[in-house]
Structure 1
Amino acid sequence: MVRKFFGTDGIRGRANSFPMTAEMALKLGAAAGRYFRRDGKNGHRVVMGKDTRQSGYMLENALTAGLTSTGMNVLLLGPVPTPAVGYLTRSMRADLGIMISASHNPADDNGIKFFGPDGFKLSDDAEAEIEAILENDFQLAQPQNIGRARRIDDGRHRYMEYAKTTFPQGLRLDGLKVVIDCANGAAYRAAPDVLWELGAEVIALGVNPNGQNINLGVGSTHPEAAQRAVVENGADIGITLDGDADRVMIIDEKGRLADGDQLMALLAGRWADAGRLRGGALVATVMSNLGLERFLTGRGLRLERTAVGDRYVVERMRGAGFNLGGEQSGHIVMTDYATTGDGLIAGLQFLAAMAESREPASSLVEQFEPVPQMLKNVRYAAGADPLSRPAVRAVIADAETRLAGTGRVLIRKSGTEPLIRVMAEAEDEVLLKDVVSGIVAAVESAA
């Protein structure tokens, strides 16, 4: 089924502009409530969390109104990480989970993500059915069946206690100095507290949200502040999260940044050695570096590639029984622990590797030599379709021919922003730059 409003990670856009308006959120909440109350019974419940964006108040209230109008009972968690919503949806036996967040996007954007009763993100088909309900008339609840809403004050603490159970029992972080950058986002309280309770000396950044500073110069998409803090404070490691804490980047004691590919390589190797990597494979997207694939092959493991988006990684993992996957951008999915990417739990897994091996972060973050990779984003106007232009297709075809056997080209539209993402890999960096600049110029001309 074709989806009109949902992208690769829910519905997302500029706050107070369609589709991120209060009116749309109200209708969307009512449509989702109608979808989950198809049996006509009362007592259905939804848990709802949000990050720290100012527009979250507006969307939270509008969604609540829509959901209760169709008879859903709403449990409001307040600011919590996205993976906490997935966990609590299942833990609290809810029918639906909702996270209000635009993840790593600027504060002026916002988004809405849905989770099913199993804690996993809704399928494309389920989202399409909700859209179909949204665009048609449907019956609201009778007055006596209107839902209720209430605050859940301990949702964050429930998630924190669970996160600590994923760290090896009996192991502590005593003696480790950890910089944690929470991007002024959803984990600004949970992440530093968990690390401190496990024994680490914590240096916290990005923990003063004001509604407008989420991801602003901090977090996994802007790690420079955390890199400086690691070096200046003589820290053993830096952990940088994004606005909703479902992705992570690791910084070693020298201030060098390691992306999701390196973290996945470390975990895949350790889990394979321990006999716990199910299926002998790691699931990652087409964006992951060719060096990761070569590393896994050398270990007798496989790399299963999917379309971009952690939802597609999770679908492949669940369909084939794999338990480790993720994205280069830092979404690390460990279905033994979580239903979606979880930056805090992934960070704890890296810290466990440090504590158990007694090796510095620098020796753990360099699992493989990456193949030179270049990614450029080209913004295009609404309604434009640069990739359909013959001139653009010709330039892309020429690039593929030039890189045949020595690299690869990947051109795609972003699922969350009006961007064309131009990515290429090649051992020859001069050729790589030439190929990417040629494609970018052609797309910019067409856009």
Structure 2
Amino acid sequence: MQRLTTLFPSTMLEEHAEELGVVERDGKLQIPVLVWAFVFGFAAGESRTLAGFRRAYNSTADEVLSPGGFYQRLTPLFAEYLCDLVETALDEVAVPHTVSKEFSRFRDVIIADGTVLRLHQFLAEEYEGRKEEQAGARLHLLHNATDQTIERFSVTDEKAHDSTAFDTGSWLKGRLVLFDRAYFKFRRFALIDENDGYFVSQLKSSSNPVIMAELREWRGRAIPLEGEHVYDIVEDLQRKYIDVEVEVSFQRREYAGTQSWDTKRFRVVGVRVEDADDYQLYITNLSRESFLPADIATLYRCRWEVEVLFRELKTQYELDEFDTSKKHVVEVLLYAALLSLVVSRALLKVVTEEADDECVFPTERWAATFRSHAQLILHELGDYLGYSPPPLLERLIEDAQKIHQQRPILQERLATITQPTIEA
């Protein structure tokens, strides 16, 4: 519990909520409980309903909130508040290094990717989908495979390309970034190289760069590759690996009204896939002296980690099931899911440090374990923080009674219909 309260101290949660105007100084709402209710309420239960989050809050706080009192707290300001908490926590959460030894040469290994979240069609103006009368948001993540956490995140509408959410800069120094074809740009690769970073990306067939030199000598009557375009010759090759230097052309950013062309040399590696009788082709700035072709393929397979991360968000936390037509409620639920992921990783760090050295914790198995214990963790956290919720019977009465006094339930309607018959 101490690790969680260090990650989000109650005083910090309260002060930042007052700064943003999320709560009134003397209001009834207990903001730390509300935050933890969304964190663990998102992980627990079979469905992510607002009523479920309210029950999680009422089971922890000193005083219960009515449905109306709870829902009116879910504002655009509260969504902004949760977003701030995610950004704060990302710098504090890092699971002990568990990746392969090849990664130790880099400051971090970063995986860039995005996923689409389907939304209510009434949100089509705020979150434009690729098809008419559809709404969709795109969650862009930079996953830090070294520390097993999220490096950066952003949310756009579905039509925004993944590539637009990746910014180059000095933050790339010493880091290896793994890309799929959605991020493929020669200018981007050049900027990573010029910022002393490293990259591995799948090679787009439409790029088809020209080969300037072979980086490995072949015995016998090997097909010469210099001067050829990569995709023009791959079908004729039978060798296990391709390892060549290529030259690519690209446009620099516009400056003073003009846009100049430039060239750069990179390495293209091909690893033959015997079952498919084809090559997996990668472009990189990693040297042959440090990484052989098989090493490049091994590094790139780590991209699967971000796919597992998205699968965790969608299967364990049901991130793509948003049954609301309100934009700010979608954002509240999205940031709550990311907070749940961050807190899950924080607890995984504690578990990893306390367990025996030979213990291994697969992330998906850990996610399922975290989810199954979420309600218990919330209860213990409430005790640790000194909250005293109302007696269970009082909370059961509060949650189970009819909310709308003017709306008859089925038994009342039947009684009304059958009463004249009985009297007759």
Which TM-score band applies after superposition, normalised by the shorter structure? under 0.3
* Structure-1-length-normalised TM-score: 0.24
Q: Greater helix share, 1 or 2?
A: 2
What is the TM-score when the length of structure 2 is the normalising length?
A: 0.25
Bigger RCO of structures 1 and 2 (CA < 8 A, at least 6 apart) = 2
Q: Which has the larger radius of gyration?
A: 2
